[in-house]
Chain A
């Protein structure tokens, strides 16, 4: 499965949008314009955007708490995201969810605060799509920290036992909240654990969006054919701290500089320019369009009404 030029161009734009949106929301968090804190993923945009690239509208995504890459990749808009962060009545959840992005109609499924809870839920989602005779694939994207959840192992066990259409994607950004993964886990790689359950795995460069897209596309295709789950691990690096306001100190300046040189947006830009598919002016126009889209979304969220407390007890039961 090869990534074609026009798709790469779309993915590049999506990464630019994710980066600009995360920067903007980080400002809004710092300025206390939104009530929550934020978890951002500067430098790891290629994993979320690339892994959701091969998905269809009807496929399911379980995403991470970090940044917007997979949510934009699956089709959520800055307006929808900002309305949730502001907790406004115009948000899809009508002010109930905040950072826990959800859009059921395009298959963006629950993001539990209690990380790891999505493992069982995602397996159930895959089981259901198979039993209902659909060809939908479930993609569960999580960090290497969440991969320590005991549910991860039982999920792998059941997904392969029942040969379910699911792809487990681990975005390994090397940091587990406020600590290095190497301080809380004895293994550098996470994916080989899947082999213990007979689940095929691959480890690949998470900062090369072509690699992420093509690797995931193979796994999604395998799942859709009915050949069962795959575990993918994409190596990347978290240049942000865990949350906005986290003083950090666990990343070294030198290490950050090193990973800036492997920046996924710079790399896709170079590929596109080398192939004559993008030039500086194209990208400037792209960025101007993105900035306008984001500012429009910020205005929309700012101007939207707050939800009415009078409706607070609506829908406690289905």
Chain B
């Protein structure tokens, strides 16, 4: 078995390598010198405070700073302490960062990464726990990355930094301490390439971010019943690897989508619409979407857990889908 490191360490290595490789890369945000979730900890010692920049508490303005710096030759990584606060900078992301390349007919580009810890980890409450990645699929010009493991996180983060467009990079807080195999050497992972975590023949489960692990647990449970599911991790929601999902449906003819974010207008809504438009002949049963209800995420651990899909619910959805076949 190769080297095992945590998700945090994987991101920190990506930062380190990219900042060494390219002087125009810098990180900016609240407490990035200390590193609230440790992904940037220690960088200031090597790269100094001009490249690891602490800001006052004003997301809208410091994301704007990222946009302006990106437009004029820098590659900022803007860290938002909790992804929920990204909405405070929605104007900068949706109306500015994503639009000026097109509007300027190519004269401007915004090579900026927004790194945002996301997701429920228990006990943090409504404004520190949401999964809001789907909200960034709507504005034009953005790319959206939701890694599910340390290996993908490192390779995708490096690609995000090198991309010439604004990229939103969501790190699930429950995955930050997860360990996984990450090779010593340099590698990147291209956007728009899904990862098939488990091949299967009966049902396709497309799972976003942390849901990949729930889907894998469901796969084990279902295998004992003789049901074989294919677990697909899209890794990037924009651009989306439609081909990988289509290929899978051509085998399974059943589609389940699982996300931690809200079901209404979520990633699943978009994927299922694509399936209905393009792959109607690959669907033998109604598609099923699993996601959070359209309510604020409640604080009580019991209520929080009730909002978020788990392996049991994914397995139930698969059984339900196959029974209809």
Give A residues with C-beta under 8 Å from B: 60, 92-94, 96-97, 100, 102, 104-105, 109-110, 112-114, 117-129, 131-132, 150-151, 154-155, 157-158, 161-162, 315-318
Contacts and interface: CB of A to CB of B under 8 A. Distances in A.
B140 interface: yes
A125 B92 contact: no
Interface of B: 24, 26, 50, 53, 55-56, 58, 60-74, 76, 91-92, 95-96, 100-111, 140-141, 143, 164-165
Contacts of B164: 317-318
29 contacts: A93-B103, A96-B105, A109-B68, A112-B95, A113-B95, A117-B64, A117-B91, A117-B96, A118-B64, A120-B61, A120-B62, A120-B68, A121-B71, A124-B66, A124-B74, A126-B68, A128-B72, A128-B73, A131-B50, A150-B61, A151-B60, A154-B58, A154-B60, A154-B62, A155-B64, A158-B65, A161-B56, A316-B102, A318-B111
Nearest to B101: A318
A122 B106 CA distance: 19
Given A93-B105, A120-B60, 5 more contacts: A117-B92, A124-B74, A127-B69, A132-B73, A162-B53
A124 B70 contact: yes
A96 B92 CA distance: 19
Nearest to A127: B69
B52 to A, nearest CB: 13
Given A120-B62, A120-B68, A105 B74 contact: no
Nearest to A317: B165
Contact of B141 (A113, A123, A126, A316): A316
Given A104-B108, A117-B96, A119-B61, A125 B71 contact: yes
Contact of A94 (B74, B105, B109): B105
Contacts of B63: 120
B91 A128 contact: no
A211 B111 CA distance: 39
Nearest to A124: B68
Contacts of B95: 112-114, 117
B314 to A, nearest CB: 33
Given A93-B103, A102-B103, A129-B72, A151 B64 contact: yes
A124 B69 contact: yes
Contacts of A162: 53
A154 B104 contact: no
A118 B96 CA distance: 9
A150 B91 CA distance: 13
Contacts of B100: 110
Contact of B101 (A100, A121, A125, A317): A317
A132 B74 contact: yes
Contacts of B60: 120, 150-151, 154
Contact of A121 (B24, B67, B73, B109): B67
B191 to A, nearest CB: 10
Contacts of A126: 68
Contact of B92 (A93, A100, A120, A317): A120
A278 B65 CA distance: 45
A129 B95 CA distance: 23
B312 to A, nearest CB: 39
Contacts of B68: 109, 120-128
